[in-house]
Structure 1
């Protein structure tokens, strides 16, 4: 090694020489000494000596301590363990690989192998940063194209008005009210409990007084002209305040405009309106970048609230709310083509279906799930956005003609669509609030059956996820998708690995809060598991209240034609049915009335019934009663268990109650009357006392053979009265039969005395 490599530190060379030479010598001696250590069976034999164990343990501790001092500079988080050879070998190998890789990188850097290319440096200088340009990815799934991008900056970070995701009441952003009949006044609405639920619609009075102009209702003098192709139509991008002012000036000169919005909700809690498309017959197509011109979109209120201008939307339920939430823009004078398609009962109600029906245009809807935050917009997304509004004005004219023609020139169907569209404009935006039962909507959709522990986990995870989504301004499905949330609540994994198994692939948010999720699930496992009584199907049918039984005749009319509200009613037939008193007869005998309707439904199958209750209603009533009884029993058991740990107060109370009841029963029990015989009632004499005082006496042969007389033999009448009634014996014993005394029987006669006395003699052989 030459000192020229480090001319500023000439003393480094001798130090390096001593270290390397001394290190090599030490390593060589260490290897040679380790080769003399016993192996295999010899090692097992040496392990039986205490001194050998002490020495080897001390050596192992020294090796681990010295190795940790070396590894701390390369892998600070790694610490070798004592008596864990497999773990220590793995970590030493990792440390060696890391050091070798670092050495190779430094060698390549000095030799110029890893020097950046000129093209890379030029791209960095042009973009300003290596990750400034989004990396776009396209994934085709069936007929839908997913367009995503990495390195997309979050647009909400650049908003002048910060996003408010708290539970506070949402305040409308409108500050000026053009085209007003009533001046701007924001009034708070309250519910029956006195809680504020929102603000009154600023244009409520204008919407109530709105009536479409006559030119929108009268038939068109000529058929509408088909719009030119997209390639021949002018396209204008609006990104600045000056360009937006020019758009407002142009819209002031037209009477009809088609509007659509593009929304993004995956990386935002409330969602972001990213794009607005506007088309007019005179000016062509306009694409407004609502992210760049967000603070100036409110200028469109002058056009959107003008009742003389028609705004054509398709499916405006969400668009109306998005305009209010992000820009404070309201709409007066709306025609919704989706409502018109429902009024015309068209087979396809989507915009794609309308374009195919009226314009013979096949709209490509594969980009409907694209990330509209991408800037600059790809050409495919621009083409897709223009298609949504380019043909919409022509569709409105065609639908207007069909509505008038279907009503024989009368505007009633057309006015019905305008009325439905007016009601859509009256909706107001409010923040999503989390209630105690918000998680039940997800539970009902899943069609699963959870116990009390699983429901507690679902509720806890649902609220926890929502709180973090509000704080980070991310959607709940991005942080923790719904199917993963249900899997965690259903499985309740005991180990951390189980959480990863339920969330595969694991979202970044779950990786950051893995231990927190695991602790929450373990806490739910420790909750007492309440019984799941009669689980009903998670549908609205199961949650509906039980309907009371009808107090009149029930008929089986399954064999007649179904008469629903959608079908026309034959009034002549209805008058005839009412006049004849519904002369049909049921097919099932159980529904046959045996009495006038005023006396109730009484069938021959159940003559005691005053009112017929269908089987399903009986089951629901029984189910409710059974639930109450079982829950009551469960609560009592739970209270008893709690009493054991709280001083046994409840147990003591129950014991006292039972002791009092037993004492009451003993006091109320009849006492036995004294015997009527004189012999039994005679007092005890001195002779009897003397007999009792004798401790031992010899039993004679006569007493041994003859049983002693019974002391308290009840009379025959008493025995007959004490015999249980309604009991038939197999054979009635004789009245003269005496009880047999088993204790005084001589059992020696059953054995052979000779065999018992004579014992076999053992013969022993003498050994000389």
Structure 2
């Protein structure tokens, strides 16, 4: 028994014949389709799905092995027009689409919980709160590329979808009671429509600890080591940090060893591939040291400066942000939802940094729409933001942080 549920044997479907029989059963079910996917983040370079779980009333639970099955076109044809129930859908949609599974309508139970103002929105917590069932979540960070998958992992994976439709019904009723059905509809539609994130410019700049690196040579070495590690990780399909961690790259940048031996004997240059691939790392360091094309000290400007620096760099923007944010926090509290769900924080920062001219409810609304805000968010925030921007030098509310 598990939290009041009887544990049954779970079987992974890993042949085309078994898969096609399962699709027929799913087609014979009724109502929404619960969907989940398990990846191997932290273990593999790719973000592909290594297990896809499906549940539908009248059909049951099905655990599919995507690498073994290949195309999921037949399943897509059966469930494409149905409502899919996922928890934190944005985390799974990319890997589902990779195998041909793409919803037209979703109900996101995590997002619904956020819109309802629940203090914790993890699946286990929400299931316990709404269904009174305790789920163990000890396998959430497991290496799902493992084969064969242990029985306990399969049980964990099955329960992640087996309870989702019941949970959806509870949350849907709560959304009706809270008069947030339309808000949820817009948010769910935006989740499905959201484009894939564009590739980051200079991705090596996301290195943990890169802020401590100074000078063109140090940044050149950091870039070469990061790109060398990334290429090897992609080739081996292993998470980059499992070759050498970010801290090793920063350590090498800090000391800038002048010989291969010095690098090999540096204690804080560690990781499972730190010595077995020492020639590779040393070659990267030499390229970084001798390059005639060092990266600029600052990034490409695709992101705004951190707000803590605004007071010096753009005092007017700093004043606008500090005046507007408390008003949005107050509005979010009135609506009983997190302020980041009321309006994406980056939208407010971009508006504050470069406001429209003139500043009116209408021009602020237009910019918010261009940035991707939903109609309900614009209705709830545009007037407040315009009001704050017109008189940005009024004193911010007590407790407002410079790092907002």
TM-score (norm 2): 0.69
User: How far did residue 428 of structure 1 move?
Assistant: 4.5
Aligned position for 1:247: 22
1:241–1:296: 8 Å Cα contact kept in structure 2? no
Q: Any residues of structure 2 matched to 1:566-715 within 5 Å, and which?
A: 566-568=329-331
The structure 1 residue matched to 2:181, chosen from 383, 394, 414, is: 414
Aligned position for 1:263: 39
User: How far did residue 296 of structure 1 move?
Assistant: 3.6
Aligned position for 2:342: none
The structure 2 residue matched to 1:275, chosen from 37, 46, 51, is: 51
Aligned position for 2:143: 371
The structure 2 residue matched to 1:284, chosen from 54, 60, 63, is: 60
- For the pair 1:442 / 2:207, whether they are aligned, the reply is yes
SS in 2 for 1:398: helix
Structure (1/2) with the larger helix percentage: 2
Inter-CA distance 257–236: structure 2 relative to 1 (3 Å threshold): farther
Deviations along 1:274-304, one digit per CA (max 9) or x if unpaired, are 11111223233221122221x2422211133
Q: Distance in 1 between matches of 2:54 and 2:205?
A: 40
Aligned position for 2:247: 483
Q: Distance in 1 between matches of 2:44 and 2:230?
A: 12
1:487–1:502: 8 Å Cα contact kept in structure 2? no
The structure 1 residue matched to 2:217, chosen from 430, 440, 453, is: 453
2:10–2:151: 8 Å Cα contact kept in structure 1? no
User: How far did residue 256 of structure 1 move?
Assistant: 1.6
User: How far did residue 263 of structure 1 move?
Assistant: 0.6
Q: Distance in 1 between matches of 2:305 and 2:267?
A: 26
Aligned position for 1:319: 92
Aligned position for 2:354: none
SS in 2 for 1:299: helix
Deviations along 1:566-624, one digit per CA (max 9) or x if unpaired, are 32499xxx9xxx9xxx9x999xxxxxxxxxxxxxxxxxxxxxxxxxxxxx9xxxxxxxx
1:268–1:475: 8 Å Cα contact kept in structure 2? yes
2:213–2:253: 8 Å Cα contact kept in structure 1? no
User: How far did residue 498 of structure 1 move?
Assistant: 3.7
User: How far did residue 452 of structure 1 move?
Assistant: 2.4
Q: Distance in 1 between matches of 2:95 and 2:271?
A: 32
Inter-CA distance 502–298: structure 2 relative to 1 (3 Å threshold): farther
Aligned position for 1:182: none
2:88–2:109: 8 Å Cα contact kept in structure 1? yes
- For the pair 1:470 / 2:234, whether they are aligned, the reply is yes
Q: Distance in 2 between matches of 1:459 and 1:354?
A: 42
1:234–1:285: 8 Å Cα contact kept in structure 2? no
1:273–1:322: 8 Å Cα contact kept in structure 2? yes
Aligned position for 1:231: 6
User: How far did residue 512 of structure 1 move?
Assistant: 3.8
User: How far did residue 345 of structure 1 move?
Assistant: 0.4
Inter-CA distance 416–234: structure 2 relative to 1 (3 Å threshold): farther
SS in 1 for 2:39: strand
Aligned position for 1:541: 307
Deviations along 1:303-340, one digit per CA (max 9) or x if unpaired, are 3311xx22100001121110112x12211121001110
Q: Distance in 1 between matches of 2:251 and 2:97?
A: 36
Inter-CA distance 232–475: structure 2 relative to 1 (3 Å threshold): closer
Aligned position for 2:80: 305
Higher relative contact order (CA 8 A, sep 6+): 2
Runs of 4 or more, structure 1, over 6 Å off, are none
Deviations along 1:144-196, one digit per CA (max 9) or x if unpaired, are xxxxxxxxxxxxxxxxxxxxxxxxxxxxxxxxxxxxxxxxxxxxxxxxxxxxx
Q: Any residues of structure 2 matched to 1:47-196 within 5 Å, and which?
A: none
Q: Distance in 2 between matches of 1:483 and 1:392?
A: 39
Q: Distance in 2 between matches of 1:353 and 1:255?
A: 25
SS in 2 for 1:291: helix
User: How far did residue 433 of structure 1 move?
Assistant: 4.5
Q: Distance in 1 between matches of 2:254 and 2:89?
A: 38
Deviations along 1:129-153, one digit per CA (max 9) or x if unpaired, are xxxxxxxxxxxxxxxxxxxxxxxxx
2:44–2:237: 8 Å Cα contact kept in structure 1? yes
Aligned position for 1:329: 101
The structure 2 residue matched to 1:564, chosen from 314, 317, 327, is: 327
How many equivalent pairs are there? 327
Q: Distance in 1 between matches of 2:313 and 2:155?
A: 54
**Which protein shows a greater Rg?**
1
User: How far did residue 517 of structure 1 move?
Assistant: 2.3
User: How far did residue 235 of structure 1 move?
Assistant: 4.6
1:259–1:389: 8 Å Cα contact kept in structure 2? yes
In structure 1, the gaps of 5 or more residues are 1-226, 408-412, 587-615, 617-768
Inter-CA distance 512–564: structure 2 relative to 1 (3 Å threshold): same
Q: Distance in 2 between matches of 1:481 and 1:285?
A: 38
Q: Distance in 2 between matches of 1:368 and 1:228?
A: 17
SS in 2 for 1:320: helix
